[in-house]
Amino acid sequence: MRGVLPTYSMAVCAAKGSPNLSRRCSESSEKTWTACDILDRHSWRPVINLHRQDAQRFVRYLNTVCRTIFIPRGRTKELINENGYHAPMISKRARSIKPSGIREMFEMATKDSINLGLGELDFEPPQEITNALKKAAEQGRNRYGPTKGIDELRQAVASRVSRYRGDLGMENVVITASGTQGTIAAYQTLFDPGDEVLIPEPGFVLYEPNCMLAGARAVPYGLTEGSFMPDVDEINSLITPRTRGLVVNSPSNPTGGVLDRETFNALVDIAADNDLWVISDEVYENFLYDGGVHHSFNEHIERAVVLNSFSKSFAVPGWRIGYLTAPAELVDHIAKIQYHLVAAPPTPQQYALAEAFDAQESFLRKILPEFDRRRRAIVRLLNEIEGFHCPLPRGAFYAFPRYDLPISSRELATRLVRAGVIVAPGTAFGERGEHHLRFSYAASEENIVRGLEMVKKVVEELEH
C-alpha cells in the first residue's frame, strides 16, 4: 500500500507590467508506507478480524500517516471506516468547504414559506429575449460554441463596457457559464497555493471558497458601519509580501453598499502600489438608486478582472450565463481554465442575448422604480421592529439590518424560517456579519409586508 503526497502548483510566470499569473503544473512524489500487511490487496478489507476499537485506531493511523491509498487499477480510493468496512475517501479540498448558510435556510423551509432570502428577480425576462431563445434553438444553434463565447455577444458586451474605457474591445471579453463560473475561472487563473487574497467581510459566499479551491488564503477586510465602504486603512494594514489579489463588490451583496469615488480611487492606488490584481464583482451595476453612479474597475482593466452576469439585468438566472472583462493577454489564460471547466458557455442563450441585447435598458427602466418602492418599504418596516437598525441601501436589492438581540444570526434566521419566512443569517457572509440578517427585496411588496410581520412577531416573542 502506497500513499501519494499532495500535488502543488507554483506561481512562475509574470506578465510584463502586470501582476503575476499562476501556472498550474503537477509535481508528485511517492512514498511506501508500512501498513500493507493489514489490508487484503484484492478486497481491501482487513485480513485480520479487527474489533471496533482496533478499526478506529487503524482509521486514525491511515488519516495521520497516509491520507490517500493507491488502489489496484479499476478500484476506488477507499479507507476503512470506524465500523471496519469500506468508506469512500473524500478530498481534503471538499471537506474544507463549508455548506452555504443561505442554502441551509432553504433546506429547512416549507413550500409555502415567504421567500425574502434569495437574490432572484420575481419578474419574467423580456419577451424579446425569450422569443430570441426559441428562435436560436429552432435555427439549430444547439452545438458547441467557442470557449470565449460567440463573437456577436462578445462584441455587444464590449460596446457596453466601453462607456467606462473607450479602448475596451471584444478581445477583452469572455462569455462565461454564469458569473459564478467566471469567478472560479478567474481565481484559478490568477492565484496559487500560498497566495493571499483580500476579500470583503461581510461579503458574498463564493469569495472565500474560491480562494481555498485555488489553494490561496482568503484574508477578510472590514466595511464601515452604515455606508458599508471598504475600510481602506485596514486593507493597507493586511497587505503582506504574499498578497496577490483584492476582491471588491459594488453594489454589494449582502449590504447594498455602493463605492463612492474617493474609496474607488483609494482602492485603485492600493492595487497599483502593491502590484495586486483587482477582482471586481459588478453583477449589480444596474441596480442603483437616488441618482447613484457606478464606478467600474473596467477603467483600470490593465490590472483588473471584472465579473458580471446576465442573471439580474435580464431576469434569467436559470440560463447560467455571464461574462467577464480582463486584459487581452489574460483573457487567453482564463479561456484555458474555462475550457477545462465547461468547454464553452451555452450556445442558444448566447445567440438570444446577442439578438435582444438592447432590450436590457427598457426592461431595467420598467423594474427599477418598483425595486425602489420595495427598498423604501422594507427599510421602513425593519426599522419599526424593536432592536433593528437598517440603513437605506444604495444599490443591489438587499437590506442588511443590525439587531440588538442576544441571539446569533444563524439561530435567529432558523427561528424565522420555522415561523414561515426565509432570510439569510449574517454569518453566511463571514464572521463580521454576526448580529445582522440579509433580506432580499426581490419579492412582491405584499410578501415583504407579510414577511416582516412574521419577523416582528418572532422578535417580540424573544423579548418576552
Phi and psi at 301, nearest 5°, equal: -65, -15
Residues 309 and 175 in one domain: yes
Tell me whether residue 5 is in a domain.
no
Residues 266 and 372 in one domain: no
pLDDT tens, residue by residue, 167-185: 999 999 999 999 999 999 9
Tell me whether residue 17 is in a domain.
no
Q: Looking at the predicted structure, is the pLDDT value of residue 60 above 90?
A: no
Q: Cβ distance 55 to 46 under 8 Å?
A: yes
Residues 208 and 263 in one domain: yes
Bridge pairing between strands 388-389 and 304-309: unpaired
Residues 339 and 375 in one domain: no
When divided into structural domains, the chain yields a total of 3
Domain range for 78: 33-89
- The pTM score is 0.82
pLDDT tens, residue by residue, 408-460: 999 999 999 999 999 999 999 999 999 999 999 999 999 999 999 999 999 99
Across residues 255-282, what is the average pLDDT? 98
Residues 109 and 146 in one domain: no
Cα 420 to chain centroid, rounded: 27
Residue ending a domain, choose from 357, 382, 405:
357
Nearest one of 254, 9, 27 to 119, comparing CA atoms: 254
Residues 223 and 323 in one domain: yes
Residues 347 and 459 in one domain: no
Query: Which CATH number characterizes residue 193's domain?
Result: 3.40.640.10
Tell me whether residue 445 is in a domain.
yes
pLDDT tens, residue by residue, 215-226: 999 999 999 988
Tell me whether residue 12 is in a domain.
no
Tell me whether residue 127 is in a domain.
no
The residue type of 3 is G
What's the start-to-end Cα distance of the chain, in Å?
62
The residue type of 458 is V
Bridge pairing between strands 388-389 and 243-249: unpaired
Looking at residue 50, its pLDDT comes to 46
Give the Cα separation of 282 and 96 in Å (integer). 27
Tell me whether residue 23 is in a domain.
no
